[in-house]
Structure 1
Amino acid sequence: MSKVISHSLFTDFDIDLFKAGKHFKLYEKLGAHLIEVDGVKGVYFAVWAPTAKSVSVVGDFNYWVQGEHHLNVRWDSSGIWEGFIPEVSKGSLYKYKIQSHIDGVVTEKADPFALYCEKPPHTASVIWDLDYNWKDENWMHTREQFNALDKPYSVYEVHLGSWRRAEHNRFLSYLELADELVKYVKETGFTHVEFMPIMEYPYDPSWGYQLTGYFAPTSRFGKPQDFMVLVDRLHQEGIGVILDWVPSHFPEDGHGLGFFDGSHLYEHPDRRKGYHPDWKSLVFNYGRNEVRAFLISNAVFWLQHYHIDGLRVDAVASMLYLDYSRNEGEWEANIYGGRENLDSISFLKEFNEVIYSNFSGVQTIAEESTSFLMVSRPTSIGGLGFGMKWMMGWMHDTLKYFQKETVYRKYHQNDLTFSMTYAFTENFMLPFSHDEVVYGKKSLIYKMPVDEWQRFANLRLLYGYMFTHPGTKLLFMGAEFGQTNEWNFQNSLDWHLLEYDYHSGIKRLITDLNALYKSYPALYEKQFTGDGFEWINYSDHQNAILSYIRKGNNPNEKVIIVCNFTEVVRENYRIGIPENVKIQAIFNSDKTIYGGSGIEIPNQLKIDSISYDGRDFSAELTLPPLSITIYSYS
């Protein structure tokens, strides 16, 4: 095997950008790159290890012997070690053996910029490329009209390892998912899929939220190009792809980023800022320029090379506050005496600025559970710059309300109406995510009270309420057909439930709600602005009924929604109508095709010149039990 040849892909300008934390395509320089030097094919290696005394590449091409292939440290104090090794080829396994200046400390690390990794529990990096012939040109050229904030945005959240399993509980591959999952998402009408983390991770029970291979799709389901096929197929069917992205923490696994070169390189050296007590993981040092460049480069990488349409940023709240999950004495205030993590806030703003200035038709979404202000407002006016924020308060309040038996709901209507007092302070996404159906929280269907009929009627009502409430939508896999068991990452969803009418009825309802959402601009064009919503009556606590209007850009086209949160059928229930117009029924969750009781509502409402609810006109409705009925008028 040939020795290391001095070679560099870095220019002086690259190094200046890297040191300043402004190099956002580091994956083009750092890592392992198949190239040709003076007519000889091989691999150029580059790794950042500023406190290293020596760095060797070890792999199956040199029998994992340290010292066979020493990299050369750059002269410019960048801390980058590099070199070209001839004859190393695609598919070879490798790691970096790093001897620290600290006496006796030697680490053996996977490549932070590896494009492909060994299948866990093995931990080596794999020499690979990103060659692929994309076929999604139409989507990429037009996706802005599908991903914009005034478009329908209905997300199906998926854990690839447990959506569906093959024989003997085997994972489906990316290629199998490109057939089965794409067909299913198209059939049910979701506009986007969100994948729980697919970057390489060592420990299955982490669900992918403890990453070691930030630039590599997990090899559990196939090769990087196989994942590209999955994304490509979704795009060809007009379905956007969102990835969960985890810049908040990383595990202490020996081959990962922690204590990388014998020093606290990626993690903050102060344990009060560099360790997450809940997840027993390390926290990035957001004040270090090179670390910021690593993370933002990673975000850019997925959007550029995998054509991803959005990044849902995990655990943003844990990044914003120095005292997150810490007791008194376990954290240190910022320079102004506050609890905000100023380095992290600065990083998140820069991340969003880079993404939105370099990619059209993408969105960033914050999983942020606190009252931190202006998460989804532009950085130019002091916001964090995200496109959307999860509306966790709405989710908690809504589920709390629905878990109550109907006789008590008249005392708790505020749980539902409160969300409208702050609904337009952010660009909110309404999530029923994986977090709500694990660890004893029960599945959504079993959060609903009383008997089987009421449970399913409540679930249908819950989904109808969600799809007509302002904001975009997210539903975790299995919820669309009333999965009864809690989510278990080790097994497939309970697909056999679709053999039963109640469950197939829920799936039919979700399919129709997705179609309705996409068909009526009043339900999405102003989903983030107050002029897109109007109460008809929010104070009928006694009957546990809400009625409201959704509006879009066309002032003559509106949607009226009436929710009956009890099992009592309401005959001749009067609501105020703004105008004397033709009002047509477009949805009834109580239909028998959904598993409902089949109480019919008139196809067209009769408008009376009777003042009601502060309006000049009104109409009498029939409200089926535990139902949502929806009407349109123009």
Structure 2
Amino acid sequence: MTKKELFQDDVFLFNTGEAQRAYLMMGCHKVEETGEYRFCVWAPNAKGVSVVGEFNDWDPDKNPMEPHEGGLFVAYVKEAKHGDMYKYLIHGYDGQDYYKADPFAFYSELRPGTASRVYDLADYDWTDEKFLKKRARTNLQRRPVSIYEMHLGSWRQHEDGSFFTYRETADELVPYLKKMGFTHVEVMPLTEHPFDGSWGYQVTGYYSITSRYGTPEDFMYMVDKLHEAGIGVILDWVPAHFPRDAHGLRRFDGTALFEHENPMQGEMPQWGTMLFNYGRPEVQSFLVSSAMFFMDVYHIDGMRIDAVSSMLYLNFCKEDGQYVPNKYGGTENLEAIAFLKKLNSVLLTNYPGIMMIAEESSAYPLVTKPPYDGGLGFTFKWDMGFMNDSLKYMETDHLFRKYKHNNLTFSMQYAFSENYILPFSHDEVVHGKHSMVDKMFGDYWQKFASLRAFYGYIFAHPGKKHLFMGDEFAQFIEWNFAKELDWFLLDYDSHRTMQTYMKKLNAFYQKHRAFYDIEDSWEGFDWITVDDKDNSVIAFMRISTPWRGKVQKIVSVTNFTPVVHYDYKIAMPTTGVLREILNSDDPSFGGSGVKNLPEIEVTADPFHGREASASITLPPLATVYFMFDEDQTNRKQGD
């Protein structure tokens, strides 16, 4: 870094919203040729700015910053050294003095402290080149994706309740995820945040990896180790809103700089937070560069964008009269929509093979379509409808599920309109919603059986998979961010066998192409039993594209009642043989052991408009997978 590298082109890009790596100019950087540190901050309406810190005894008179074009202030400090704490003392446009953390700081003081730190990001010796090259060639739509979502501070803790570091987490997490068969880990926000109880979703440091769990190099180690095991890393990222904390972005220079001046545009009353002004070019540069920073510096493999619906709609969580309509009189946030298109285009162009995930709960169209086709450009969208409908069904008494059968079938009405992830996230196991296993209706055994059946149904259904930590071994109480998961439950058979089942289910999913090969059309899905609401049975076939001359076909059947169905007849497209290949009622998973014969003949006995049928046994509260081998005479040329 040299002094002459700072200005003109970089400033122009920042001020016009086109900067993709503004972090190379802004913030604190060492000037190698002089040994000084250069501090650069955007405060266009400030009357004056000083950088204060441990290097000058927090004296604002020692290092005043010089105003520069583009609303920037710059200072060079010879006394600063790596690790020093600092802030900007901003004499605001409103005449008030503000001590602000550096919006572009790479590292921060451990909370409750709020200072930034002078930090030279180490030239970490990465070992993931092979992984990154493979990632760039991967089409995730045609690959298995099974995501393990986690909160770093409560996955594991020391006996005294202190956090595991990034390195300690990596050393336990990597072998665990490898054993369990998850393809990706999604980490709740690790950008710096002042309040543990926000779970990281109220960010003050958009370039600062949180100091709660160690240093930037420690986090690099964690990512590198996960890549070494072939596991991708997704980071939750929050460009929708930011907190009101005095040291943060709000009224940064005495004016509404990152947020709108009008409270109806710049505030989210329900959350008590501020909304970004996406129409301001510098805000676009700030946010796009933050996302790029985590790809560039930390080799992140994807981002889940939190609260996208709140960005898309001006009236999100607001009544009439509480928001300002767009220039056409509508409720769409046109600036936010343009920002999201830019964000996804920039990241996916620079880093093909990563995933950009929208947590979007409305029916906004074309979320996962490319911007050139009018879409937002995300790789995947959370299917919140599937999650809500299916959980409501599973919470219903077995006797009355027939009245909610549509909760299971409706998802296929829109399954191919977007590229979906089926999310069962932390939001579903907090605030009195109960844990996943405790949501299930029934007695103790039925709860576990129902959860196994439900997971089997989810993994067969079109869409990528997503579970929150603890769901894989049926954590019984709700998630508590202040304590670690109840790992002691694995001493009990019901939880240990649930974990065994999830390990088997992940392995099965990745091994069988029919479950992930075609997720965007009816060519990969065929209803077998869709309307048997009286027995609460769902059956469908998943179908792959031809590979080595063979099309893989797997029939998934779920019995959502505790009643065993013997000689249950299902319609089939042609004659052949069904072979049971996975049964959630297997005793090794905690089931009752009801199973099928090794081979079941599919005969030329017409049923429900199909030319063939078979009679199978359905265990209680169970999902069973069958491999379907057609008779050779039935196979089409080229299959």
The answer, yes or no, to whether TM exceeds 0.5 is yes
Specify the TM-score bucket, using the shorter chain as the normaliser.
Answer: over 0.9
Aligned to 1:198: 190
Letter in 2 for 1:236: E
Q: Are positions 1:32 and 2:28 aligned together? A: yes
Q: Which amino acid aligns with 1:534?
A: D
Query: Alpha-carbon deviations, 1:136-183, whole Å to 9, x = none?
Result: 111111124556211000000000000111111111110100101111
Q: Which of 626, 629, 633 is 1:631 aligned to?
A: 626
The question of 1:470 aligning with 2:455 is answered no
Counterparts of 2:387 and 2:158, CA distance in 1: 33
- Structure 2 residue aligned with 1:109, among 100, 104, 112? 100
Q: Which amino acid aligns with 1:624?
A: P
CA offset at residue 223 of structure 1? 0.3
Q: Is the 8 A contact 1:155 1:474 kept in 2?
A: yes
The answer to whether the Cα contact below 8 Å between 2:3 and 2:31 also exists between their aligned partners in 1 is no
Shift of 1:34: 1.6
C-alpha RMSD over aligned residues: 1.2
CA gap 1:355/1:86 in 2 versus in 1, 3 angstroms: same
Partner of 1:380: 372
The aligned residue for residue 568 of structure 2 is 573
Structure 2 CA distance, aligned partners of 1:10 and 1:311? 29
Distance 2:412 2:303 in 1: 26
Give the equivalent residue in structure 2 for 1:235.
227
User: Paired residue for 1:118?
Assistant: 109
Q: Distance in 2 between matches of 1:9 and 1:204?
A: 38
What is the aligned partner in structure 2 of residue 263 from structure 1? 255
Letter aligned with residue 565 of structure 1: F
Aligned to 1:459: 451
* Paired residues of 1:147 and 1:363 also in contact (CA < 8 A): no
- CA contact under 8 A between 1:145 and 1:151: conserved in structure 2? no
Offset, 1:45:
0.8
- The answer on whether the counterparts of 1:7 and 1:83 sit within 8 Å (CA) in structure 2 is no
Q: Which residue of 2 aligns with 1:50?
A: 44
Residue 84 of structure 1: how far off its partner (Å): 1.8
Counterpart in 2 of 1:430? Answer: 422
**Unpaired segments of 5 or more residues in structure 1?**
1-5
Question: Any conservation in 1 of the 2:571–2:610 contact (CA below 8 Å)?
Answer: yes
The residue identity in structure 2 corresponding to 1:497 is: L
1: CA distance between counterparts of 2:491 and 2:328? 60
Distance change (3 Å), C-alpha of 1:532 and 1:308: same
Q: Does 1:293 align with 2:293?
A: no
Q: In structure 1, what is the Cα distance between the partners aligned to 2:5 and 2:465? A: 44
Shift of 1:607: 2.0
Quick one: distance in 2 between partners of 1:71 and 1:620?
80
Distance 1:507 1:129 in 2: 42
AA of the residue aligned to 1:291: V
Q: 1:359 aligns with which of 351, 354, 359?
A: 351
Q: Displacement of 1:541 after TM fit?
A: 1.1
- Asked whether the equivalents of residues 242 and 308 of structure 1 are also in contact (C-alpha less than 8 Å), the reply is yes
Could you say which residue in structure 1 is the equivalent of 2:605? 610
Query: How far apart in 2 are the matches of 1:633 and 1:418?
Result: 25
Distance in 2, matches of 1:129 and 1:579, equals 66
**Structure 2, unaligned stretches of length 5 or more?**
630-639
Picking from 5, 15, 21, the partner of 1:9 is 5
Asked if 1:59 corresponds to 2:50, the answer is: no
* In structure 2, C-alpha distance between the alignment counterparts of 1:435 and 1:528, rounded to whole Å: 27
Are 1:130 and 2:126 matched, yes or no? Answer: no
In structure 1, give the amino acid aligned to 2:104. Answer: F
Corresponding residue for 2:308?
316
Match of 1:330 among 322, 331, 334: 322
- Per the TM alignment, residue 7 of structure 1 is displaced from its structure 2 partner at its CA by 4.1
Counterparts of 1:603 and 1:274 in 2: how far apart (Å)? Answer: 64
Q: Secondary structure at the match of 1:234?
A: helix
Say yes or no: does 1:560 pair with 2:555.
Answer: yes
1:530, CA displacement in angstroms? Answer: 2.6
Q: Which residue of 2 aligns with 1:164?
A: 156
* 2:223 alignment partner AA: V
Task: Tell me if structure 1 keeps the 8 A contact 2:51–2:64.
Answer: yes
Farther off after superposition, 80-89 or 290-299 = 80-89
Deviation at 1:584, TM superposition (A): 2.2
Q: 1:274 and 2:266 equivalent? A: yes
- 1:134-213 matches, cutoff 5 A: 134-144=126-136, 148-213=140-205
Q: What residue identity is the alignment partner of 1:115? A: F
Whether the aligned pair in 2 keeps the contact of 1:73 and 1:82 (CA below 8 Å) is: yes
Change (3 A) 1:8 1:122: farther
Amino acid at match of 2:597: P
Could you report, residue by residue, the CA deviation over 1:481-500 in whole angstroms, capped at 9, with x for unpaired residues?
A: 10111110000001111111
Counterpart mapping for 1:438-517 below 5 A: 438-517=430-509
Asked if the contact 1:574/1:619 (under 8 Å) is kept, the reply is yes
Q: Secondary structure at the match of 2:19?
A: coil
Letter in structure 2 aligned against 1:331: Y
Report the CA distance shift for 1:585/1:144 in structure 2 as closer, same or farther (over 3 A). Answer: farther
Query: Could you tell me which residue of structure 2 aligns to residue 225 of structure 1?
Result: 217
Q: Which residue of 2 aligns with 1:3?
A: none
Among 65, 71, 77, which residue is 1:71 paired with?
65
CA contact (8 A) 1:56 1:66 kept: yes
Post-superposition offset of 1:36: 2.3
Distance 1:168 1:147, change over 3 A: farther
Distance (Å, rounded) in 2 between the aligned partners of 1:285 and 1:89: 34
Deviates more, 1:330-339 or 1:203-212: 330-339
User: How big is the shift at 1:55?
Assistant: 1.0
1:583 CA displacement: 2.8
Once structures 1 and 2 are overlaid, which stretch shifts more, 127-136 or 107-116? 127-136
1:605 to partner: Cα distance: 1.7
Establish whether residue 532 from structure 1 lines up as the match of residue 524 from structure 2: yes
> How far has the Cα of 1:632 moved from its partner?
1.6
Q: Deviations over 1:562-614 (max 9, x none)?
A: 11111110111111222333432211000011111011222222221211232
Q: Match of 1:381, as an amino acid?
A: D
Task: Give the distance between the partners of 2:589 and 2:163, measured in 1 at CA.
Answer: 31
Cα distance in 2 for partners of 1:276, 1:362 equals 31
Identity fraction in percent: 47
SS class of match (1:622)? strand
Q: 3-state DSSP class of the match of 2:127?
A: coil
Q: Which one-letter code corresponds to 2:605 in the other structure?
A: I
Q: What amino acid is the match of 2:48? A: S
CA shift at 1:238, angstroms? 0.4
User: Do 2:51 and 2:75's aligned partners in 1 also have CA atoms closer than 8 Å?
Assistant: no
Normalising by structure 2, report the TM-score.
Answer: 0.96
Contact 2:192 2:203 in 1 (8 A): yes
Equivalent residue letter for 1:604? E
Q: Look up the SS of the partner of 1:462 in the other structure.
A: helix
What one-letter code is carried by the residue in structure 1 that aligns with 2:397? Answer: E
Matched, 1:588 2:579: no
Tell me the alpha carbon deviations over residues 267-322 of structure 1, each in whole angstroms, 9 at most, x when there is no partner: 11111111011210111000000000100000111111110011000000001111
Q: Distance in 2 between matches of 1:101 and 1:403?
A: 56
Q: Residues of 2 paired with 1:18 and 1:543: CA distance?
A: 62
- Contact 1:606/1:619 (8 A) holds in 2: yes
Aligned length: 624
CA distance in 2 between counterparts of 1:126 and 1:12 reads: 27
| CA deviations over 1:104-137 (Å, ceiling 9, x no partner) | x111111111111011001111111222111111
Corresponding residue number in structure 1 for 2:15: 19
Report the residue type matching 1:70 in the other structure: P
Q: What is the SS of the residue equivalent to 2:456?
A: helix
Normalised TM-score (structure 1): 0.97
Letter in 2 for 1:192: H
CA distance in 1, matches of 2:201, 2:553: 42
Separation (CA, whole Å) in 1 of partners of 2:512 and 2:607:
26
